[in-house]
Every structure is written in C-alpha cells, then in structure tokens.
C-alpha cells in the first residue's frame, strides 16, 4: 500500500522522537560533537554510517557536502539531518535524487536555519511538492547567505518557484553589494594609512 503524506509525517515524527529520546541519555560531548553525535544516532537507528557524511562531520574535509545518489533510506538520512545543526562550516549541500519527501525537506530546512555559512542547497529530482518549496522559501528569506536553491522538477505551483528564485537573486545582489562595500572600506583604510604624515627619525 502506498505511503500517504500523513503516513510520512507520522512515521518521520515517530523516528525523530525515538532518536531524540535516545540522544537524551548520551554524554554531553556526544550530543555536541558532530562525529560522535552522528555515530550515536546511527547506532540507535540501526543504520550503518554514511562514509561521506562521517568524513564531513569531522570538519576537516571542506565545506561542501555532496550526497547525490548516496541512496539513503529514510532511517539513514534522519541521523544526518539531526547532526547538520552542529556543522557550522557547511556552505554547500547536495541532496539530489535522495527521495526527499516534503516532511524531510521541512526537517532539512529546520536543520539549516541557524548555520552561518550555508550558501547553496540542491534538492533537485526529489518527490516533494509545494509545502516543501514553501519551507525552502521561508529558509531563503530568513538566511540572506543562501544565494542558490535548486529544486528542479518539484511538483509545485509556478508562483512559489518564481518567489524562491527571486529570493535567491535578492540574496545574491545583497552579497555582491556587501562585497563591494567591504572592498571600498578596505581601499579607504589603505589610502588613509599611506597618507599619514611620516614621523622624522629622532622626533
């Protein structure tokens, strides 16, 4: 029997509650250390850790997380989504073709909302619809650092897709303006430094 959207919400909520309860009994360093947290959640979920995310969680393998075609099950992706809030170095995330439902996209947005460096999100070719796009739009409007959000063939109304695109374009313009302002400030400081009167030796 096919899974309905309501079944999806109920099942994911149940799994999240189970993992959060399991995490509550862990040591504090396990809760806050991304690698230990992820390993703990995988064990509680009965899933083998994904090597790509395991390496990324150490914070020494760059700022890009590419899970395209990792073929993660719902049980396997939840430990990742529950660990992402503790990876502040994340700038680019690719979850193309990972069978993300609307509920999982909403959980992804919740996981990314407080990350300071997130810039691009790719969730193309996933079976989510307008509610998922709405969640992404809210995230992009909230996080001015996000300059690209790819949704590909999402089953959503055109107006939402256009609003998402416009929000990303606005963030890109703001980012360019900010860079130009910073460059101008640097130039002013440099000019001010070189126009300072030179002191005579011995004065």
Domains of the chain plus CATH, in order, are 5-183 (3.80.10)
User: What per-residue confidence (pLDDT) applies to 23?
Assistant: 95
Cα–Cα distance between 9 and 104 in angstroms, integer?
9
Please, are residues 92 and 119 in contact by the beta-carbon 8 Å criterion? yes
pTM value is 0.85
CA separation (Å) from 60 to 35, 52, 65? 11, 12, 12
Residues 6 or more apart whose Cβ sits within 8 Å of residue 109? 135, 136, 138, 139
Query: What single-letter DSSP state applies at residue 73?
Result: -
| pLDDT recorded at residue 2 | 41
Cα separation, 6 vs 167, whole angstroms = 29
Q: How far apart are the first and last CA of the chain?
A: 90
Looking at residue 193, its pLDDT comes to 63
pLDDT on residue 85: 98
**pLDDT at residue 185 in the model:** 74
Q: Two tokens at 145? A: 């650092």
Contact 137, 167 (CB under 8 A): yes
The token pair that represents 85 in the structure block:
């809030």
Give the model's pLDDT for residue 179: 75
pLDDT, mean of each 10-residue run, the chain (203 residues)? 58 94 95 98 96 97 95 94 98 96 96 97 94 97 97 87 96 87 70 62 53
SS3 196: coil
């Amino acid at each position: 029997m096919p899974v309905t959207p309501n079944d999806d919400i109920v099942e994911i909520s149940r799994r999240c509650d189970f993992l959060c309860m399991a995490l509550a009994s862990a040591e504090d360093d396990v809760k806050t250390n991304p690698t230990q947290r992820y390993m703990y959640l995988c064990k509680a979920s009965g899933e083998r850790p994904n090597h790509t995310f395991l390496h990324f969680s150490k914070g020494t393998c760059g700022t890009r997380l590419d899970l395209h075609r990792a073929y993660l099950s719902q049980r396997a992706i939840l430990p990742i989504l529950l660990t992402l809030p503790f990876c502040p170095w994340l700038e680019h995330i690719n979850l193309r073709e990972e069978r993300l439902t609307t509920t999982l996209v909403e959980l992804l947005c919740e996981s990314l909302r407080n990350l300071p460096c997130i810039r691009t999100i790719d969730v193309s070719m996933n079976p989510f619809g307008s509610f998922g796009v709405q969640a992404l739009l809210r995230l992009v409007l909230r996080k001015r650092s996000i300059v690209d959000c790819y949704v590909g063939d999402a089953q959503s109304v055109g107006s939402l897709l256009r609003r998402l695109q416009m929000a990303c374009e606005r963030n890109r313009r703001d980012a360019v303006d900010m860079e130009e302002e910073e460059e101008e400030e640097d130039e002013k400081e440099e000019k001010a430094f070189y126009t300072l009167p030179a002191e005579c030796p011995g004065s």
